[in-house]
Amino acid sequence: MATHEESLQIHTDGGTIAGTLITPATKLPGVLFVHGWGGSQQQYLARAREVAGLGCVCMTFDLTGHAGTAAQYETVSRMRNLADVLAAYDVLVRHPEVDRNAIAVVGSSYGGYLAAVLCELRPVRWLALRAPALYMDSGWESPKRQLHHDQDLVAYRRKVVAPDTNRALRACTNFKGDVLVVESQHDNIVPHAAVLSYVDACCEAWSITYRILKGADHGLSTEDHQRAYGKLLVGWLREMVTEARTGPAVAPPRPSASSTVKATSTPSPEFTVARQKPPPPRADAGLAPDEDDNETAVAAGDADDENDPQVIAASAPSTRK
């Protein structure tokens, strides 16, 4: 753990003697949680409290168009929501106990997309993406809800997208911190190919930990899947924070072309790669032709993102290798 030393004089009956006061570094890592479309900060409070127990300062917030500003749900744009994320980030790093060089951003679905874009605009050390959504760059200032009428997102997410054609992926290509990517095995909204687009884009990341939650859907609608994700996230953050405080036992190698993992089949349900890239997607990866993106169902009371009950995640050691 980093320490701070202060030389001082100690007054005694016979005069003064020299002393040194050694204290733990007062600055703590900051963790920003970005919820998905149709969600709210309420889903992340319990998980944020657990992460705070690791010795982090955590922040959750409601994107414009949600919770108290739900009246703007039909009109809010990605540009406005990115401004929300930037404002929340700036509040977090201004906290007197936060180490602005040790910031983690955790985003799910639409929140993962916004978190990726944030990385090109603010310093981020750790990036955790769960089922990160993909959107075309066009219509940046249009209402987010309008995108599903203007863009064929079902087809777009069925293929691996080139990083130079997408703002969020371009941001990932320049990210040099540690990355956690979590995919749901049965995700009909953000399919395998879309997730692999993000993983492939993180070519300069210091480390990549990539997992697939067996049997999980997009919204992690069962408590078991909520707990499994929480276990992965908290374990990974624990390892990142611990390493930042104590330093790695051995300096790890940087990624290279020779470290790329090749495979011809679907990755195993729980697959971890550290400082390597995961296998390429199957040729048929993605949504089936008759499957639809459920974002249009939000107005009817369903959620396309993580509108599932918050479950306090159980902490566990990271499985990063």
pLDDT tens-digit map of 102-128 = 999 999 999 999 999 999 999 999 999
CA–CA distance, 194 with 285 (Å, rounded to integer): 9
Look at residue 190 and tell me if it is in a domain. yes
Residue 101: pLDDT band with limits 50, 70, 90: very high
Domain count, the chain: 1
Look at residue 162 and tell me if it is in a domain. yes
Look at residue 106 and tell me if it is in a domain. yes
Structure tokens at 112: 């993962």
> How do residues 184-203 score in pLDDT, each as one tens digit?
999 999 999 999 999 999 99
> How do residues 229-274 score in pLDDT, each as one tens digit?
999 999 999 999 999 888 664 444 444 333 333 222 344 444 444 4
- Is 104 strand, coil or helix? strand
Domain range enclosing 118: 26-300
CA–CA distance, 257 with 56 (Å, rounded to integer): 35
The mean pLDDT of 143-168, rounded to a whole number, is 96
What is the model's pLDDT at position 1?
59
> For all residues of the chain together, what is the average pLDDT?
81
Look at residue 13 and tell me if it is in a domain. no
Q: Is the dihedral of CA 127, 128, 134, 138 positive or negative?
A: negative
Look at residue 3 and tell me if it is in a domain. no
What is the model's pLDDT at position 140?
96
The mean pLDDT of 53-74, rounded to a whole number, is 95
CA–CA distance, 170 with 116 (Å, rounded to integer): 9
CATH at 178: 3.40.50.1820
Look at residue 309 and tell me if it is in a domain. no
Residue 178: pLDDT band with limits 50, 70, 90: very high
Identify any residues that bridge with 291 across adjacent strands, giving them in sequence order. Answer: none
Look at residue 310 and tell me if it is in a domain. no
pLDDT at 291 over 50: no
In this structure, the number of other CB atoms found within 10 A of the CB of residue 170 comes to 17
Look at residue 114 and tell me if it is in a domain. yes
**What are the DSSP E strand ranges found in the chain?**
3-12, 15-24, 28-34, 57-59, 98-108, 126-130, 178-184, 207-213
Cα 91 to its chain centre, rounded Å, is 18
pLDDT at 321 over 60: no
The mean pLDDT of 294-309, rounded to a whole number, is 34
Percent of the chain with pLDDT over 70: 76
